[in-house]
Amino acid sequence: MSLTPDDIARIANLARLELHPDESERMLTQINGFFGIVEAMRAVDTTGVEPLAHPVAVIQDVALRLRADVASEPNQREANQRSAPAVERGLFLVPKVIE
């Protein structure tokens, strides 16, 4: 299986990445090269095997913990917005989305 230039364009759009034509071309070659080594993985029989997300779950139950639903953080709006590219009156600014 090989990806086509159209696939690259579709994935780049999903990933919200603008790619220049030469970049797309390079990406296509490199990603297809990578999927060459992925074929070995696809051929493995995994019938009946459960996917593993938290590795320690191999030997014991791992329950992903939930925090009590209480406000624990103080208001730090200014500190949190200090590195934002565009802020006005405590709000993040984005280009106009609704006409």
Partner 1 sequence: MHSASKPLHDLGVAELAASLRAGQVSAVEAAQHFLGRARSHESLGAFLAIDEEVTMNQARAADARLAAGTAGPLEGVPLAHKDIFVTKDLPSTAGSRMLEGYRSPFDATVVRKLADAGVVTLGKLNCDEFAMGSSNENSAYQPACNPWDLSRVPGGSSGGSAVAVAARLAPAATGTDTGGSIRQPASFCGITGIKPTYGRASRYGMIAFASSLDQAGPMARSAEDCALLLSNLCGPDPDRDSTSLDLPTEDFARSLNDSIDGLRIGIPKEFFGEGLSADVRTAVEGVLGEFEKMGARLVPISLPRTELSIPVYYIIAPAEASSNLSRFDGVKFGHRAKAFADLVDMYKKTRAEGFGDEVKRRIMIGTYVLSHGYYDAYYLQAQKIRRMIADDFQQAFKSCDLIAGPVAPTVAWKLGGHGNDPLADYLADIFTLPASLAGLPGMSVPAGFGDGAMPVGLQLIGNYFTESRLLNAAHRLQQATDFHSRKPEGV
Give residues in contact with partner 1 (CB under 8 A). Answer: 3, 7-8, 11-12, 14-19, 23, 27, 30-31, 33-34, 37-38, 40-42, 44, 46, 49-56, 58-59, 62, 64-67, 72, 76, 79-80, 82-86, 92, 94-97
Q: Shortest approach of partner 1 to residue 89 CB, angstroms?
A: 16
Q: Letter for the amino acid at 24?
A: S
Q: Shortest approach of partner 1 to residue 21 CB, angstroms?
A: 13
Nearer to partner 1, 33 or 89 (CB): 33
Q: Which long-range contacts (CB under 8 A, 24 or more apart) does 15-21 make?
A: none
DSSP code per residue over 3-68: --HHHHHHHHHHTT----HHHHHHHHHHHHHHHHHHHHHHTS--TTPPP-SSGGGGTS--PPP---
Q: Shortest approach of partner 1 to residue 52 CB, angstroms?
A: 4
